[in-house]
Chains A and B, each alone.
Chain A
Amino acid sequence: MSIDQVETKYSKRSSKWKLILLALIATLVVAIVLCLNIGFAPISFSEILNILAKQIPLVNNSVDPSTVSTINESIIMQIRLPRVFAGAIVGAGLAAAGVMYQGIFRNPMADSYLLGASAGASLAYTLAILYSGSLAMTFLGTGIFQFVAFAGAVITVFLVYFMSRVGKKVPITTLLLSGIVVNIFLLSLQTVFELRSGKELHGIVAWIAGGFTNITWISIYTVFPFVLVGTIIAYFYTKDLNMLSMGDDTAQHLGVNTERVRQILLLIGCLITGAAVSISGIIGFVGLIIPHMTRLVIGPDHRILLPTSTIVGAIFLILCDSLARVATGASELPVGVITALSGTPFFIYLLRRRKTMYSL
């Protein structure tokens, strides 16, 4: 392309970005409907659409009630839809947090679990299962475990953050190293407790492997605000993330309040990750690979990278979860296995194709 067209191309960038986002949102909607179709009970697309329309005020009058069976409606509304939504929310959250962490750390190896959120959540969950007994569960319901996992994730990240503080600043290298070390430490503790557990072991391992069994609307209502509000606030700081990729000093010279932006984004990232982990367990790979893939395709500008990664993360995880549900028949595969198995080849393909463009 000739150099004279560069200006025009850049001035049209904003509308191009809007188009990309619209296309991705459309894809997400299609993916959701497609995945609602997957499962043991065969439910046709038209029935799915009718069931969905029935839930929406104003539109529901036009739906003929005879086309919808009550059983199918409750399968869709109580089992499949919450599960698909959970996948979308968790995928979106992990990808958004991944973008934030990679931007803050200027490091492609960073992901949403970098600062110990996963290890903290796992350990807290394990301890709760092993030692709270049936008492807490009886009084507070399974929701208590969700809360414990969330608290474990958030407390761990705070611990790592304050451990890395030097004076008023938190150097990113120290933060990175503290994160890695705390992760290893907590995983070792985790092993100790797993070895001491008996019949609970299977449940713990299954939870850690990640998945969306037993998702209820309650879990979705508690997690969705974190992901939605967090991602929106993070979007305020996407320009700052662009500048942070040139290092703290340069970002500051370009007018970025580096310490504050980092604190805010780390906090948001940690809350989102904690919320996601609390309902899904540890689903690896999404926070690492989705931001990468998206960056390879649309470039490194966080203003478009953050929203697109968020939606791509959602699409990716609901597709993976659907695959997990049907892949091996009776017993489900952990969705984390699917994310890694399906994401890696595609990522390697992108990396090879664009390797000259990607120097890190």
Chain B
Amino acid sequence: MVLLSIDGVECRYGSIKILENVNLNVKEGDFVGIIGPNGSGKTTLLKCISQTLKPHKGTVLLDKTDIYSIKSVELAKRMAVVPQESNIGFSFTALDIVLMGRNPHMKRFQMESGKDMSIVKEAMLRTNTWQLAERPINELSGGERQRVIIARALAQQPTVLLLDEPLTHLDMINQLEIMDLVKELCIKERLIVLAVIHDLNLAARYCSSLLMLKGATVFAAGTVEQALTSKNIKSVFRVDAIVRKSAVTNSLYVIPLTPQKICSPRNCSIHVISGAGTGTLTMKALVDEGYKVTAGVLNMLDTDYETAELLKIPTVSEAPFSPITEESKQALREMIKRAAIIVVTSVPFGYGNLSNLELALEATIRGVKTYVINEMPLEGRDFTSGKATTLLSEMKRYGAIFVDHPSELPTLVNATHDVIKMRKPSALDSGHLKRVSPEQISTK
């Protein structure tokens, strides 16, 4: 069993610590994704492992042997590195470049043998670069060049493969093909793979475990599920992100929201009626603007429900795929009473969530400022034989403002907020507004 163990590694450039107390054990067949923001020491860690930058403290052991006691030519037989960028000085052909991967296996005056050539050919076929064999490397596109460099790494026939942002120059199909290939090498040929990956979704999809770095130290390490949580992403990348499991790939995927804006809190409540992810960006934008946002009724596991949880938004919730019960309806009514502004997103309406709209209408009639985002045509999302459409046109009659796109909302809401604040500051966050009972609505 081949084992790579990194033990208490510390690295400095001058007095600045780039890595501190990094510990990691990787065994054959592991595909470790190294993630973290820029400057968190990801590349430095790979340099420590690849004998390029000797750590000031700690050791890197490959099969219980200190990496730095192995001659570089011996290490090159066992470890291959795909660097972040490849600047190649002269116009070598792609085949020349991949043949260089055989160097550690050859004697000084030996020319490449037939065996070397067949290993190289196989590496190039696997990376889909054989047809580029005679093209000068400097004339290839970024993606083609990257695949050639990966082929060179494969030609070394390593047991450890280090990749530093291997996907940077690649388009979607190339990204998937390369990750598929690396994964396959990992599983079938029991390689140890460590890859610095910026795309969290691809990391989550392909890696068997993740190492999350933040400010020179390991912030989290473990399985993808352990490391890739909304909380960790928020701490490490300072981005609110929804982490969900895709039913399609059966792996986690991350939806980053806009970066956090620093805004002074406003003493004003806004209730958002949404669902199916239509309210996510709206809720995020309003929270960023400093409003107290509430949401509901939302079904649990709905994307908007997860967003609300992530943003710590008070929510009235209902079990997945269940219609709104009387109890939730009452809770929602109480919640809406405290709101100065209501926002209805372009969520599809069915009999399950129609009550949300009814309660919104109540509030509009009461004089609560209401915004309806009408991004998608109503015909396409009204599954209540026109009842939702009727309710929305009622709302319009009572002064609800229809907005075409969620991005317009914050500006409008801010203007409204300022107007309300001037006229009647107490109305911003209160139940002082005139109360209207449901019966009064039905009589209208």
Contact = CB atoms under 8 A, between A and B. Distances in A.
Contacts, number: 106
Contact of A10 (B74, B77, B95, B156): B95
Nearest to B80: A253
A332 interface: no
Given A6-B134, A242-B100, A358 B73 contact: no
A7 B121 contact: yes
Given A10-B95, A243-B103, A253 B76 contact: yes
A7 to B, nearest CB: 6
Nearest to B87: A247
Contacts of A245: 88-90, 92
Contacts of B106: 239
Given A239-B108, A243-B100, A358 B91 contact: yes
Interface in A33-90: none
Contacts of B74: 255
Nearest to B158: A253
A32 to B, nearest CB: 29
B72 A6 contact: no
B131 A3 contact: yes
B23 to A, nearest CB: 24
Contacts of B50: 249, 253
Interface stretch (B111-119, B199-207, B292-300): B111-119
Contacts of B138: 359-360
B139 interface: yes
Q: Which of A3, A250, A254 has the most CB of B within 10 A?
A: A254
Nearest to B118: A7
Interface residues of B, number: 46
Counting chain B CB atoms within 10 Å of each CB, the highest count among A1, A3, A103, A300 belongs to: A300
Interface residues of A, number: 35
Nearest to A295: B90
A300 B133 contact: no
Contact of B86 (A6, A13, A246): A246
B79 interface: yes
A103 B89 CA distance: 8
A323 interface: no
Given A254-B76, A255-B72, A246 B136 contact: no
Given A246-B88, A250-B83, A357 B100 contact: no
A236 interface: yes
B103 A253 contact: no
Interface of A: 1, 3, 6-7, 10-11, 13-14, 103, 106-107, 236, 239, 242-243, 245-247, 249-250, 252-257, 295, 299-301, 356-360
Going nearest first, the 10 A-B pairs with the smallest beta carbon separation are A255-B76, A255-B73, A300-B90, A106-B89, A245-B89, A255-B104, A253-B81, A359-B138, A14-B111, A6-B133
